[in-house]
Amino acid sequence: MRLALLALGAFLALPALVPTARAQVMDPEPLPKMRWSFDGPFGTFDRAAEQRGLQVWQEVCSNCHSMKEAYYRNLTGIGLSADQVKAFAAGITITGGATDDSGQPIDRPALPADHFRTPFANEKAARAANNGALPPDHSLIEKAREGGATYIAALLEGYRDPPAGMKMGDGMNYNIAFEGRQIAMAQPLHDGQVTYSDGTPATVEQMSRDVATFLTYMANPEMEQRKRMGVRIVLFLAGMTVVTYAVKRKIWSDVH
Partner 1 sequence: MAGLHQSDFKNPVLNWFDSRMPILTMMQKEYGTFPTPKNFNYFWNFGALAMINLVIMIATGIFLAMNYTAHTSMAFDSVERIMRDVNYGWLLRYVHANGASMFFIVTYIHIFRALYYGSYKAPRELLFMLGVVILLLMMATAFMGYVLPWGQMSYWGATVITNLFSAIPVVGESIVTWLWGGFSVDNPTLNRFFSLHYLLPFMITGVVFLHIVALHITGSNNPLGIDVKTPQDTIPFHPYYTIKDSVGICVFLLVFAIVVFFAPNYMGHPDNYIPANPLSTPAEIVPEWYFLPFYAILRSVPSKLGGVSLMFGAIAVLFVLPWLDTSPVRSARFRPIYRQLIWVLVLALFVLGFVGAHRPEGIWVVLGRVATAYYFLHFLVLLPLLGKIEKPLPLPESISSPVLPRGPGGGGGPMPHGATAKPMEKI
Judged by the rule CB under 8 A, the positions of this chain that interact with partner 1 are: 1-4, 7-8, 11, 14-15, 18-22, 41, 69-70, 74, 136, 139-140, 143-146, 179, 219, 221-222, 226-227, 229-231, 233-234, 237-238, 240-241, 244-245, 247-248, 251-252, 255-256
Report in angstroms how near the CB of residue 158 gets to partner 1 at its nearest.
18
Enumerate the H helices of the chain as residue ranges: 2-17, 47-59, 82-90, 123-129, 148-156, 204-219, 223-252
Measured in degrees and rounded to the nearest 5, phi and psi for residue 64 equal -125, -30
Report in angstroms how near the CB of residue 87 gets to partner 1 at its nearest.
23
- Cα torsion at 226, 227, 232, 234 (round to 10°)? 100
Closer to partner 1 by Cβ: residue 177 or 194 = 177
Distance CA 119, CA 126 (A): 8
Do residues 59 and 78 make contact, with C-beta atoms less than 8 angstroms apart? Answer: no
Closer to partner 1 by Cβ: residue 83 or 252 = 252
Do residues 79 and 51 make contact, with C-beta atoms less than 8 angstroms apart? Answer: yes
Do residues 52 and 210 make contact, with C-beta atoms less than 8 angstroms apart? Answer: yes
Do residues 157 and 168 make contact, with C-beta atoms less than 8 angstroms apart? Answer: no
Closer to partner 1 by Cβ: residue 52 or 145 = 145
Among 168, 179, 186, residue whose Cα is nearest residue 131: 186
Report in angstroms how near the CB of residue 19 gets to partner 1 at its nearest.
7
Closer to partner 1 by Cβ: residue 116 or 189 = 116
Closer to partner 1 by Cβ: residue 190 or 226 = 226
The total of other beta-carbon atoms located within 10 Å of residue 7's CB is 10
Report in angstroms how near the CB of residue 201 gets to partner 1 at its nearest.
32
Report in angstroms how near the CB of residue 106 gets to partner 1 at its nearest.
25
Report in angstroms how near the CB of residue 241 gets to partner 1 at its nearest.
4
Residue 71 DSSP label = B
Closer to partner 1 by Cβ: residue 202 or 212 = 212
